[in-house]
Amino acid sequence: MSHVSVPPILDETRLSSGRLENLSARVETTGGRESISVCAPATDDEIGTIPACTATDVEVAASRARSAQSAWAETPVEQRASILRRFGDLVSERREALLDLVQLETGKSRRHAVEEVLDVSLTCSYYAAYGPDAIAEEGRRGAIPLAADARVSYDPVGVVGIISPWNYPLTLSMTDAIPALLAGNAVVCKPDEKTPYVALALAELLEAAGLPPDVFQIVTGDGPTIGPALIDRVDYVAFTGSTETGRAVAEQAGQNLIDCSLELGGKNPMLVLADADVETAARGAVQGAFTNAGQLCLAPERIYVDDARYDAFLDAFVGATRGLTLGLAFEYGPDVGSLIDGDHTERVAAAVEAAVDDGASVVSGGRRRPDVGPFCYEPTILTEVDPDSQIACEETFGPVVSVTPVSGTDEAIERANDSPYGLNASVWTRDRERGREVAREIDCGTVCVNDAYMAGWAAVDAPMGGVGDSGLGRRHGPEGIRRYVEAQTIATSRIGPLEPPSGVPTRWFVRALSGLTALQRRLLRWSR
């Protein structure tokens, strides 16, 4: 494929090769290491190199993090919150430079890159405000009212390992780290080797915000090489990536008897009910399916439309899709940017070609666009997709979506649930209450009504995650910080050992204890 002739890519940004070299230098290694080339998808030109860390480098980083963690955990939680709040402010203040860096590494459009900056700032503010209460010591019901009590405290697990993907390098390197840090943990982050500079820039801002040295460490390199080494040296793993790799992460974490959270793949359904506003649903489909050129784990890839709305919806969706602009400018112009690299572009193109061979029709898009950029691919809508074909069952992770008519809501729900994945879904209807009822019937961790994904993702007070092959655990909300703590219960008796007093027959003691238990059961019923 021919490359586009463009000016030197760095000249279009607020960055420089020297700036990228300085970020690479933040990765500490134990000696001379091979380098990994980092390329800009907009041109496929090298923009810099990063160290190819080894298992020894991971061990050193984890050791430094562990040494720094104790003092960080002893820092008052209000002070930890203040540092993270300041970090969020710095992310907002440095927005334009961070957007340049995200675009440079991913090739996404600026309008989609800005979602990442806003998300990190919001997450910082949320956990700084509500995180301390979520992990504060609390009283619980004791064994015997008035005679015993129980209190629960929450202690950090220790060192958290974060393995983040390339598609949202700013959001997904930090969304998991922020609550982990607030809870008093140290973090070792392994960003994807395609997009390391964003994580390194964020580490620099954490330091500027006042985070003590070594509390947040970054290791760079090949996932199969340093991922297992990281899992072996941390106390918790947060992973975002493919289901196949997630299974391996979970297996190794299980062998080490450490907990993990996994956000994995999805084949997300979108349901357009008979009473839906087709124009609104079409706009939602465009936003959901083609944000970040479809390289979004929450993107709808299967759209099921009631027969009564099918033709009108398809016309509206195709019209809106054909109005999108492809481009690679470092400004708020183009609607859709690039795929990440040549291998991924080949996979997306091959998936569409295979679907057509299986009988699908391309009603919009379906072409590579080397005239725009080496890895650009048109937003693509398919119809008449074989429900058993690969593209109907497996995640494409590109700007490709199928539209299928269904005979009613029951069939839409049945088709939506006919998948091992369960990450995100959406329901479109004028009757919001009906939409919520339908949402409850869909086997997904998050379901949005009249929105493709943003209403769910941006609800940072609500848990987000997948079921089935889409993963384990939850990020966001109180659940998102409590995964990083160990609960300790301290139970205190005011009367000494709970055993028969001297001289009291055991049968009398058992009778009295049974009476107290019966009273407790009644009180518990009444308290509800």
263 is catalytic: yes
- DSSP summary character for residue 464: B
Contact 273, 304 (CB under 8 A): no
Q: Is the pTM of this model over 0.85?
A: yes
376 is catalytic: no
Residue 2 has pLDDT above 50, yes or no: no
158-176: per-residue pLDDT in tens? 999 999 999 999 999 999 9
Q: How confident is the model at residue 528 (pLDDT cuts 50, 70, 90)?
A: low
What average pLDDT does this structure show over 328-342?
96
Rounded Cα–Cα distance for residues 98 and 119 (Å): 13
74-116: per-residue pLDDT in tens? 999 999 999 999 999 999 999 999 999 999 999 999 999 999 9
* Longest CA pairwise span in the chain (Å): 96
| Residue 190, pLDDT score | 98
| CATH number for region 268-461 | 3.40.309.10
Superfamily of domain 52-264+478-482: Aldehyde Dehydrogenase; Chain A, domain 1 (3.40.605.10)
Considering 53, 189, 297, 448, which one is annotated as catalytic? 297
| Residue 503, pLDDT score | 86
Contact 120, 88 (CB under 8 A): yes
| Residue 509, pLDDT score | 82
| Residue 324, pLDDT score | 98
For residue 312, report the phi and psi dihedrals to the nearest 5 degrees. -65, -40
Residue 154 has pLDDT above 90, yes or no: yes
Mean pLDDT of the chain: 95
Rounded Cα–Cα distance for residues 234 and 63 (Å): 9
| Residue 93, pLDDT score | 97
Q: Is 435 helix (H, G, I), strand (E, B) or coil?
A: helix
Q: What are the residue ranges spanned by the domains of the chain? A: 52-264+478-482, 268-461
Considering 193, 263, 378, 395, which one is annotated as catalytic? 263
397-429: per-residue pLDDT in tens? 999 999 999 999 999 999 999 999 999 999 999
Element (DSSP H or E) covering residue 383: strand 380-383
| Residue 500, pLDDT score | 81
| Residue 5, pLDDT score | 34
The one-letter code for the residue type at 346 is: E
